[in-house]
A = this chain, B = another copy of it.
Amino acid sequence: MDSETIMRGITDRARKASCALSVLSADRKNSALEAMAKALEASRDEIKKANSIDLEEAERSGKNKAFLDRLKLDDRRVDGMISMFRDVKELDDPVGAVMEEIKRPNGLVIQKIRVPIGVIGIIYESRPNVTADCVSLCLKSGNAVILRGGSDAINSNKAVFYALKDASVKAGIDEGAFILVEDTSRQLVEAMLKASGGIDLIMPRGGESLIRSVSENSRVPVIKHYKGLCHIYVDESADLDMAEEICFNAKVQRPGVCNAMETMLVNSRIAEEFLPRIAGRLSSAGVVLKGCPETRKIVENSEEAGEKEFSTEWLDLVLSVRVVDSMEQAIEHIEKFGSHHSDAIITEDERRASEFVKRVDSSSVYVNASTRFTDGGEFGKGAEIGISTDKLHARGPMGLEELCTYKYVVRGTGQIRK
């Protein structure tokens, strides 16, 4: 069988399941989620054993430490998956919510009702807990999901997946609700990207090159973020103590993630006071500074920064720094180099804060807080399936509501169009 025929078989099963899932009660979904949490607990040893096979193979082939860390499933991470299933169980069912109700003069009642999107495809790399995240969120939001993880994590993914699947089928969930594509060949990914009509939405999760390749080749709609090149602009009116705490947190607390600060913009009127303070603190935490010429006049141990550095998502203890003459120039810099993910202003001037949040075109714009809060949990969504820097459908952290679309239900008493 060719890849497209195989994929058609997969999407047909998923589509059939999605019809059943879309009308499932919250109770039925929640008891399946509880059964799946218990199944992960019961399969803990099996999951860790399967994971150790992947880890050994990754070590043998010389993968780096960060890769091994993403791949690893230890007890703490299995616990995390289990409690995530219970957290998702506690969240409100998004399906069926009346988002809006319009009564028309002719007596028609038009309700805008939240419904699942249908069939979601996830293409991901080496993090096997993505398998559990996606299964739980798609089940609760009434979507079928087709999972295609990387070959490096295939044993781990299979162990997690089949523990969940067996439990869900026993709990009465359609067998096509979650499908793992075990064949990790390129041909099947290509067939997945061509499956418009069979898959409603593809979300790639992983490094920028994976995301770019999915996005450029897909005939199915894609929601994504390429990278998180986040800025903090320290305004002339900033409380400098607050600015120091926020900038330090946004860079150092967890530098490898998409909502960490990558570039700090400092207003020239406070640069001579602020830069030495924050530079000293960052340096003692091991942060390498890359500065514009003005920055380097003030911070002597700063390396040089130009267009290349300002375009780089460091994901590490490295920070680009630029002194700007005005908020205007900061906004221009963010527009030119930013990734529309998360950008902040530190200011005590409410008028300037308003201007900044109006004009910066990012999914999340902050006033006087760390960019590190862009996250489904921190936004009160309970969990997230990803973060979007696209503009259509969903922007920022995506939770259960963003895995839904809507339909209009129109009830009448015989109305006809005149």
Contacts and interface: CB of A to CB of B under 8 A. Distances in A.
A407 interface: yes
A362 B239 CA distance: 53
A246 B200 contact: no
A253 B410 contact: no
Contacts of A361: 19, 22, 115, 118, 407
Contact of A246 (B366, B369, B414): B414
Interface string A354-398: 000111011111111110111000111000000000111101100
Contacts of A411: 353, 366-369
Nearest first, the 3 A-B pairs at minimum CB distance are A369-B412, A249-B416, A372-B417
B405 A395 contact: yes
A287 interface: no
A76 interface: no
A359 B23 contact: yes
A64 interface: no
Most buried by B among A23, A219, A378, A415: A415
Most buried by B among A19, A409, A411: A409
A121 B405 CA distance: 23
Interface stretch (A102-110, A272-280, A305-313): A102-110
Interface in A88-109: 102, 104, 108
Contacts of A23: 358-359
A414 B118 contact: no
Contacts of A239: 414
Nearest to A392: B393
